Chains A and B, each alone.
Chain A
Amino acid sequence: MNAGGTRLAVDSATGLQIELAVAGPGARSFAFILDWHIRLLLAIAWWLASSLAVTGSMGGIPDESNAGEFFGLVVVLPAVAIYLLYHPLLEVFMHGRTPGKRIAGVRIATRNGLTPGVGALLIRNVFRLIDGLPGFYGVGLASTVITADHVRLGDLAAGTLLLYERSDGRSGRQDFVTELATTQLDPQLAELIDDLLARWKKLQPPVRVQLAQKLLLRVDPAATSSEDSRQLQEQLRNYLSPGS
C-alpha cells in the first residue's frame, strides 16, 4: 500500500505531470521473499526430478566418472543456473518484473517511469553481492529504509527504482481502468457499481440489496432483480467485468 507514500513525479511530453507510487521496503521485501522461495523451489525441483531421471534415485553424485560427468551437466549446472540467473533473466524478459514482483504489484522502472534497458537490469543484479552483505540483504534493506526513494545500492547504480503497478499504490481488486476497458457501461454508472462492490462487505445486507437493485435497474430497466445478496453481487460483477 502506498496511500500518501513516496511519489515519483514524471514530466510527460504534453506538459502534464504523472505521479507514480514508489514501493517501500515492505513491498520490496515481500516481492524478494516470494521470488527467493520460487527460485529455490524451482532449483530443488529440477535437481530432484533430473536426478531421478538420470540415476533412478534422488541421492548425490554417482561414483562412476562417466555418470558423474553426465550428472553434473544435466542436474547440477541447470539447477545452479536456475538459482543464480532467475532474477537477471526474468527481469529482462518480463520487462522489469518477476513472478514475486507481479504478486506484490510492483515493477522495476527508470526515473522516467519507463522499463529499464538490459544493461541497467544487469547492473542492478550485479550489485546484489554488496546489497546482500553481511547477510539477509542487510546493506540493501538498510539502504531502502534510509534513502528517499527506498532504493538499494543496485538501484542507485542502475538509476532504477521500484514502482507500484497501480498509480495509486493500491493492490487487491482489479484496476478500474481494466474494467472500464472491458465493460460497455457508462463510466459514471461503472464507477458507482465499482464503489458499491468495494464497500459491499461494510454495508448492512438490506442496504446493499437496495443499492444493488437500484443500480441494476439503471443498467437494464427491463431486468428483474433478485433479493439474494450474493446473486446481486455476482450480477454487478458481471456487468463491470464481463467474461471474468
Chain B
Amino acid sequence: MTTGDAALKTWLSRRTADWRRLSTLSIRLGRRRATTPGEALEIIDGYHATAHDLSLARRLMPQSRTHGSLEALYTRLHAVLHQAPRRLGSDLLRLLRDEIPEAVWALRLHLLWVTGLFMLSAGAGWWLVATYPELIGLFASEEMIDTVERGQLWTDGLLNIFPSSVLSVGILANNISVTLLAFTAGALFGLGTFYVIGLNGLMLGGIFAFTAQHGLDDGLLRFIIAHGPVELSVICLAGAAGAGLGEALARPGEATRREAFQVASARIGRLLVLCTLLLVICGFIEGYISPVTDYPMAARITIGAGFWLVMIGALTGDLFGRRRAGSTAQPANQAVDAAT
C-alpha cells in the first residue's frame, strides 16, 4: 500500500460519523417518516459523497466489512432517492378515470372478437344439447341433472342450504378465479383464454338448452338476469385482456417477447382491478337478490340493466369524471401501441 492509499484509508475512517448520520436519515426516509427539506437535501448530498467513499473503499479495502457496509448504505440511499412517490388517492382516481378506460379502448377489437367467440360457443352449446341431450353430462354435474329432471332448478332453495353471505363469498371467489384465469391463461399465447371463454360459453348455452327442454329456462333467466349481464360482460372483458396478453407474446413487434409481455401485463392488467370490484358486487347481488323469490322480474331487470349501465360508465371513465375535450384519441393510440 502506498502512502497515498494509507492516507485515503485514514480519511475514509474519519467519514464514519457522516455514514452513521446518513444511515439513520435513510432508514427514516425509507419508512416514510417525516423528514425536513434540509434533511432530504442532506441525503442527496450524502448520496454523492457516499458514491465517492464507496469507489475508494472498493479499490482500497475490497474484502473489508466497511466496504460491505458502504455498499449496503449506498444501495439504501439509491433506493430511497429513486423511489416514486406513493399517493394512493390520486393514483386510484387516475387508474379509474384515465388508465382503465384507455386499456378498454385499446382492447376494443379483442373485446369484439372474444364476445363473438363467447356467443358462438353459447350457441354451439345450445345446439349440441338440444340435438344430443345426453351431452349435458359434459356441462353439468349429476346432481344438477337430477334436480332439473325432477322439475326444479338447482338454484331453488339455495338459501335453505347456505345463508346469503356465505353464498355470496363462494360465488364471488369463484367468479373472480374464473376471470383472473381467463386473463392469466392469455400467457399461453392467448390459447388458454380462448379455451376458458369457449368452455364458459358452451356451458351457458348447454345448460340453458337443458333447462329449456324441461320448461325451466324462464326460471333460470329470472335467476341470472340481475347479476348475469355484468358477470358475463366481465368474463368477456377478462377474456379480451387475456387475448391482448396473448397477442403481445405472439406478435411482440420490435420488443422482445419478455418486454412485450411485461408492458402488456402492466397496461392491460389494470382492467382487472375494475373487473374484481364489479364481480364483488355481482357476488352480493347473486347471494342476496337472485335466489330470493320475492323480487319481481321487473325489479330484477331494472337492477341488471342499471348495474350494466354503471359498468359501462366505469369502463368509459364517465363515472369517475373523465374529461374528453378531444383528447381521447392520443392516449388511446398510445395505449394500443404499448399494449401490442
Partner of A69, one of B20, B82, B163, B181: B163
A-side contacts of B74, CB under 8 Å: 12, 16, 18
Closest to A73 in B: B165
Interface residues of B (CB under 8 A from A): 12-13, 16, 19-20, 23-24, 47-48, 51, 54-55, 64-66, 68-75, 78-79, 81-84, 86, 88, 91, 95, 159, 162-169, 173, 177, 180-181, 183-185, 187, 258, 261-262, 265-266, 269-270, 272-273
Report the Cα distance A42→B168, complex, angstroms.
22
Contact check, A14 vs B48: say whether CB atoms are below 8 A apart. Answer: yes
Is there an interface contact between B79 and A72, defined as CB atoms closer than 8 Å? no
Which of B12, B54, B79, B258 is close to A16, meaning CB atoms less than 8 Å apart? B54
Contact between A191 and B66, CB atoms less than 8 A apart: yes
Whether B65 pairs with A195 at a CB distance below 8 angstroms is yes
Tell me, rounded to whole Å, the shortest Cβ–Cβ distance linking A148 to chain B: 11
Q: A122-B273, A156-B261 are in contact. Are A194 and B65 (CB under 8 A)?
A: yes
Which one of A10, A61, A176 has the highest number of Cβ atoms from chain B below 10 Å of its Cβ? A176
Question: Do A113 and B13 contact each other (CB < 8 Å), given the known contacts A16-B54, A72-B164?
Answer: no
Partner of A12, one of B78, B265, B273: B78
**Contact assessment for B166 and A72 in the assembled complex, using a CB-CB cutoff below 8 Å:** yes
What is the size category of the interface that chain A forms with chain B?
35 or more
B166 touching A76, Cβ below 8 Å = yes
Residue in A19, A122, A153 whose beta carbon sits within 8 Å of that of B187 in the complex:
A153
Contact across chains for B169 and A77 when beta carbons are under 8 A apart:
yes
Residues from chain A with a CB closer than 8 A to the CB of B75 are 18, 20, 113, 167
A119 near B266 with CB under 8 A, answer yes
> Could you show 13 A-B contacts with beta carbons less than 8 Å apart?
A10-B78, A16-B51, A18-B71, A61-B163, A71-B166, A72-B167, A113-B79, A127-B184, A157-B187, A168-B68, A176-B69, A187-B13, A194-B65
Assembled-state Cα–Cα distance A118/B87 (Å): 11
Q: What is the CA–CA distance of A194 and B48 in the complex, to the nearest angstrom?
A: 27
B176 to chain A, nearest CB (A): 9
Identify which of A72, A129, A176 contacts B181 (C-beta below 8 A).
Answer: A129
Please, how many angstroms separate the alpha-carbon atoms of A175 and B265 in the complex? 36
Give the CA-CA distance A97 to B258 in the complex, in Å.
Answer: 24
A123 in the interface, Cβ–Cβ < 8 Å?
yes
- Provide the residues of chain B in CB contact with A130, threshold 8 Å: 181, 184-185, 187
Known: A113-B75, A180-B20, A190-B65. 19 other contacts (CB 8 A): A13-B47, A16-B74, A18-B74, A61-B166, A69-B164, A76-B169, A84-B173, A112-B82, A113-B79, A126-B183, A127-B187, A130-B185, A156-B262, A159-B262, A175-B69, A180-B16, A180-B69, A182-B20, A186-B16
- List the 8 closest A-B pairs by CB distance, nearest first: A72-B165, A68-B163, A157-B265, A177-B69, A14-B51, A181-B23, A72-B166, A177-B72
A117 at the interface (CB under 8 A from B): yes
Distance in Å from the Cβ of A87 to the closest Cβ of chain B? 13
A113 touches B78 (CB 8 A): yes
A156 to B260, CA, bound (A): 10
- Chain B contacts for A102, CB-based, 8 A: none
Residues of A within 8 A of B69 (CB): 175-177, 179-180
Whether A122 contacts B269 in the complex (CB less than 8 A), given A10-B78, A113-B75, comes out as yes
The verdict on A176 contacting B184 (CB below 8 Å), with A16-B51, A61-B163, A77-B169 known, is no
- A219 at interface by CB-CB < 8 Å: no
CA–CA, A190 and B163, complex, Å: 64
CB proximity of A177 to chain B, nearest CB, Å: 4
User: Do most interface residues of chain B lie in helix, strand or loop, or is the interface mixed?
Assistant: helix
Chain B residues with Cβ under 8 A from A194's Cβ? 65
Chain B, Cβ-Cβ closest to A175: B72
Q: Which residues of A contact B68 (CB under 8 A)?
A: 167-168, 176-177
**Are B16 and A123 touching (Cβ within 8 A)?**
no
The answer to whether A114 has its CB under 8 Å from any CB of chain B is yes
Bound form: Cα–Cα A154–B48 in Å: 35
Q: Answer yes or no: A34 CB below 8 A from chain B CBs.
A: no
Q: Contact mask A169-183 → B, CB, 8 Å, 1/0?
A: 000000111111110
- B83 pairs with A115, CB closer than 8 A: yes
A182-213 residues with Cβ-Cβ distance < 8 A to B are 182, 186-188, 190-191, 194-195
In this complex, the member of A10, A76, A157 whose beta carbon has the largest number of chain B beta carbons within 10 angstroms is A157
Task: Kindly provide the distance from the CB of A137 to the nearest chain B CB, expressed in whole angstroms.
Answer: 14
Is A166 close to B, CB under 8 A?
Answer: yes
Chain A residues with CB under 8 Å of B88's CB are 118
Q: Are the CB atoms of B165 and A77 closer together than 8 Å?
A: yes
Q: A65 at interface (Cβ–Cβ under 8 A)? A: yes
Give the contacts of A125-142 with B (CB-CB under 8 A). Answer: 126-127, 129-130
The minimal Cβ–Cβ distance linking B29 to chain A, given in whole angstroms, is 12
Shortest Cβ distance from residue B277 to the other chain A in the assembled complex, whole angstroms: 13
Contacts of A84 on B, CB cut-off 8 Å?
A: 173
Whether A236 sits at the interface, judged by CB under 8 Å, is: no
| B84: A residues at CB distance < 8 A | 114, 117
User: Given the complex, which residues of A lie within 8 Å of B13, measured CB to CB?
Assistant: 186-188
Bound Cα distance from A77 to B272, whole angstroms: 21
